[in-house]
Each structure stands twice: as structure tokens, then as C-alpha cells.
Amino acid sequence: MLEPILEIQDLSFSYDGSSEKIFSHLNLKVTAGEFLLVKGPSGQGKSTLLRLICRLQQPCGGSIRYRGREITKIAPSELRSSISFVAQIPRMIDASVKDNLLLPFTFEANKAKSPPSDESLRLMLRDFYLESVALAQSAMKLSIGQMQRLAIMRAILLNPDILLLDEPTSALDPESAAMVFSLIERLNIDEGKTLITVTHSDYVPKKPLAAVYRLHERTLHKEQ
């Protein structure tokens, strides 16, 4: 049995001041290269689960281990360079597409990583169905679908071990959503990226090995 890259044990969470638990005794093991799809209706805490994994929120109990280490023992910026989270609504800084893509490389924790050249950025833009987008143009003028793909590309540039995608298609039209799902599948199949994607859509991944979980009654249930 492969060592899990991510292991969640007995995780519980409730919002500040609330006695009602969103999760209770939630367990999950993820191995490298796995593609997890977490489904369930809105308001069940799917996004919160992702935010707990990258420490954007703190759990009430239980543990999350990344490569065998308790995540609370890893410097937050180091953890988030290895486990990248892409939010439901993509956010850009008011600058060019290139500046947005290279933003992570300006942070101290990523200084050792070398930023990609303009040429490789252009090639990647094409792979992300953004061939019509120029590096010099303003990122704020892109459509929401383009921004979402750009946000995923920006996260991928850091070469994280795990990519957490929070409802990546919720704000998109069907055509853009299909592009994003196709992109996600390629990242997993071609590049072997470990992916945890949260969605409440009816999307069924092409890859037969993708594990589908449903968040129900405060814990995760694996679907056959």
C-alpha cells in the first residue's frame, strides 16, 4: 500500500460561536497522483474542507498530515506552496496577465523557484485554452472563465504536490466549464498531479480511477 500524501484523521470543525459541528470524525487518505472529487449540496462544508487542508481555517479537532508531517508543524507559506488552493471566484491583481502569473514568485517562500520564461508562459496559455490572451494585457479585463483558467495556471506554475480546486466551474457557462474540467483531467492524467476538486455539479470525470466522495451528515462517504 502506498504511503498517503495527505491523511486526515478524526477531523471536526464548527464555526466560531456555534455548537453545531460541520464535520465530525472525518477521515480521508489521498495517495500521490490521485484525483478526488468531493460532491454534495451547497452548505455542507465542502469548501471548508479544502480551506482546512491548506490552513486558511483551523479545525476544532483531529489531524491533517501532509507527507507524514502534521500540517501545523509546517510553515504556512511553505505548506501553501506545496498544497495550492484555487478559490471558487478567481481573484487577480490589477496588473497584466504576466504579472499575475508571476505573482507567486515575488513571495519569499517561492524565491528559490525560478520563474518561467515568456515563451513557456505563452505555451502554457495555449494549453489552458487561453491562446487569445496576451501576456501584456490587463488581467482584470478577462472573462470570469478565462480568469478561472488563469488562476489554475498560476497555481500550477509553482509545481505544487496537491491542487485544491473549490467549485472551479460554479460561475462558468457550460462551454467554459467543459474546458476547465478537461484541463483538470489533463493535469491529473498527463502530469500526475494530485487533485482534490469540490463541486456540486453533475460532472463525471472521464478518468475511471477518479474517486468520488460525497459529503453527507458531517463526514465523507466514498461512492462506488
Partner 1 sequence: MNQIIDISNWQLLLGLLFILLAQISSFVFHLGLNRDIAIGTIRTFAQLFLMGFVLTYILQSDHQLLVVGVFLVMVVSAIFIIKGRVAEKQVSYLFPTFLTMLVSYFATAMFVSGLIIGSSPWWEPRYFLPAGGMVIGNSMSALAISLERFFRDLRQQRDQIEMQLSLGAGYREASAEIFRTAVKAGMIPSINAMMGVGLVFIPGMMSGQILAGIDPMIAIRYQIVVMLMLVGATTLSSVTIMLLIRKRCFGSGEELLLTSS
First to last CA, the chain: 20
CB 5 within 8 A of CB 67: yes
* Window contacting partner 1 (CB under 8 A); options: 106-114, 121-129, 179-187, 192-200: 106-114
Phi and psi at residue 4, in whole multiples of 5°? -70, 140
Smallest distance, Å, CB 68 to partner 1?
19
User: For partner 1, which residue of 91, 126, 207, 222 counts as binding (CB under 8 A)?
Assistant: 91
Smallest distance, Å, CB 17 to partner 1?
10
Q: Which is nearer to partner 1, 35 or 85 (CB)?
A: 85
Q: Is 96 in the site for partner 1 (CB under 8 A)?
A: no
Q: Is 144 in the site for partner 1 (CB under 8 A)?
A: no
Q: Is 45 in the site for partner 1 (CB under 8 A)?
A: no
Q: Is 138 in the site for partner 1 (CB under 8 A)?
A: no
> In the chain, what are the helix, strand and coil shares in percent, each to the nearest 5?
35, 25, 40
DSSP letters, 34-58, are: -EEEEE--TTSSHHHHHHHHTTSS-
Residue 47's alpha-carbon distances to 57, 88, 135, 187, in angstroms, are: 11, 9, 31, 21
Q: Is 108 in the site for partner 1 (CB under 8 A)?
A: yes
| Residues in the chain, total | 224
The neighbour count for residue 135, using CB atoms within 10 Å, is: 15
Smallest distance, Å, CB 74 to partner 1?
10
Residues of this chain, 13-42, that bind partner 1 according to CB under 8 A: 16
Q: Show the site string, 151-190: x = touches partner 1 by CB under 8 A, - = not.
A: x--xx--x--------------------------------
User: For partner 1, which residue of 84, 146, 176, 197 counts as binding (CB under 8 A)?
Assistant: 84
CA atoms of 158 and 110, how far apart (whole Å): 8
Angle of helix 144-157 versus helix 174-189 axis, rounded to 10: 10
What is the largest distance, in Å, between two alpha-carbon atoms of the chain? 53
Q: Is 76 in the site for partner 1 (CB under 8 A)?
A: yes
Q: Is 140 in the site for partner 1 (CB under 8 A)?
A: no
Instruction: Write out the residues near partner 1 by the rule CB under 8 A.
Output: 16, 54-58, 72, 76-78, 80-81, 84-87, 89, 91, 93, 103-104, 106-110, 151, 154-155, 158
